[in-house]
Amino acid sequence: MNLNATLFAQLLVFFILAWFTMKFVWPPIMKALDDRAKKITDGLAAADKAKTDLALAEKKVVEELRKARESAGEFRTSAEKQGGVIIDEARVEAARIITQAREAAEKEAGAAAQRAKETLRDHVAQLAVAGASQILRREINPQVHAELLANLKRELS
2: region left, alpha or beta (phi > 0 left; psi from -120 to 50 alpha): beta
3: region left, alpha or beta (phi > 0 left; psi from -120 to 50 alpha): beta
CB of 69 to other proteins, least distance (A): 48
75 near other proteins, judged by CB under 8 A:
no
Q: Which residue, 19 or 75, is less far from other proteins as judged by CB?
A: 19
**Interface residues for other proteins in 16-55 (CB under 8 A)?**
17-18, 20-22, 24-36, 39
8 near other proteins, judged by CB under 8 A:
yes
97 near other proteins, judged by CB under 8 A:
no
CA of residue 71 relative to chain centroid, distance: 9
CB of 16 to other proteins, least distance (A): 8
